[in-house]
Amino acid sequence: MSDLSQEQIDKILQGISIPPQPQIMVDLQMEQVMPDPDINRIAELIKQDVGLAGTVLKVVNSPFYGLTNKITSIEQAVGILGMNSVVNIVNGITIKSSLSDDAIRALTRFWDTAMDVAMTSATLAKQVGYPHADNAYTLGLFHNCGVPLLMARYPNYMEIMEESYGGSHNRIIDFENTQLQTNHAVIGYYTAKSWNLPKLLCDIIAEHHDCKRIYRDNPNENDKTTLLSILKMAEHICGNYKILGHQDEDHEWDEIGDYVLEYLGFNDYDLNNFKEIFSEMGISPNNYGLN
């Protein structure tokens, strides 16, 4: 996104207060940029939070990473997956605790589907040979981080989101813009930026509902379009249109699905195959008790 003045940014944020970056993320990012990062220091930082350490081990031992032997320590996780991958996993996990609001009951479903999209994105990244599955995972968890902030700010945001997904607008964010003068993609962008996520991920978060333009302007293979395509396929498989939008049809996928599949080298048969595979893994919109 182009540089804006602080006044313009404040207007976009519409009084929304972005939560401060969790201290664990600050500490890990500081260690990452050191001339000689200390893997043991990374592991020690993660181990200070027992719940976080346990979740990291659960993620790296999941079928999505396909490791032969079970990892039993954070040191092993960092050594096998690499420092950047583990830090990205931690970044993704900490967003839930930082943005959750127990008063918003709808967030339970939101976080469940965010985790599903993250895991599905990481798996699809491996399938297409994208070398940074951890980036796909982090993007899957972070891409809608503007949603809970808007839920907390606007009591009627769920109704606005349902209308946004209804298919009568050019882009999902268009209706949000008319109703709120902002949208979850731009709020997500500023959250990710303030938390010092990689610029590539911030830019995709800002534009993840502007896909037709991106496919038109960036038809050649590059990290941005590859990650965006992985994300949109994961969203469709996980049923975001049902879970967040309460729709029976994925109108956004109807518009961009052919582009996504062609770009990633898949077809409709592959897509149905993936839906079955992920459903067997427990990832399906039907798991949320929706009609």
Residue 85 reports pLDDT greater than 60: yes
Q: Which helix (H) or strand (E) holds 17?
A: none
**11, two tokens:** 């207007």
Residue 84 reports pLDDT greater than 90: no
**Range list for CATH 1.10.3210.10 in the chain:** 103-291
Residue 266, pLDDT score: 95
CA distances from 179 to 4, 55, 83, 104, 246 (A): 22, 38, 42, 21, 19
For the segment 150-164, the average pLDDT, to the nearest whole number, is: 88
Residue 290 reports pLDDT greater than 80: no
For the segment 58-62, the average pLDDT, to the nearest whole number, is: 82
**268, two tokens:** 């409709």
User: Which residues make Cβ contacts (< 8 Å) with residue 163, sequence separation at least 6?
Assistant: 175
* Class of the CATH-defined domain 103-291: mainly alpha
For the segment 108-135, the average pLDDT, to the nearest whole number, is: 87
Residue 288 reports pLDDT greater than 60: no
**Better pLDDT: 218 or 48:** 48
pTM of the prediction?
Answer: 0.84
Q: What is the DSSP letter of 125?
A: H
Residue 60 reports pLDDT greater than 80: yes
Residue 149 reports pLDDT greater than 80: yes
Least confident of 9-18, 50-59, 64-73, 103-112: 103-112
Residue 7 reports pLDDT greater than 80: no
Q: Which residues of 128-161 are buried (b: 16+ CB within 10 A; e: fewer)?
A: eebebbbbbbbbbbbbbbbbbbbbbbbeebbebb
For the segment 221-241, the average pLDDT, to the nearest whole number, is: 93
**Residue-by-residue DSSP string for 137-188:** HHHHHHTTTHHHHHHHH-TTHHHHHHHHTTS-SSSHHHHHHHHHSS-HHHHH
Alpha-carbon gap, residue 58 to 50, rounded angstroms: 12
Of the pLDDT bands very low, low, confident and very high (cuts 50, 70, 90), residue 263 is very high
Residue 97 reports pLDDT greater than 80: no
Residue 22, pLDDT score: 82
Residue 211 reports pLDDT greater than 80: yes
Q: 241 with 247: CB under 8 angstroms? A: yes
Q: Mean pLDDT highest for which of 89-98, 104-113, 222-231?
A: 222-231
Three-class DSSP category at 38: coil
Least confident of 20-29, 37-46, 89-98, 100-109: 100-109
Average pLDDT of every residue of the chain: 85
Residue 151 reports pLDDT greater than 90: no
**Better pLDDT: 1 or 93:** 93
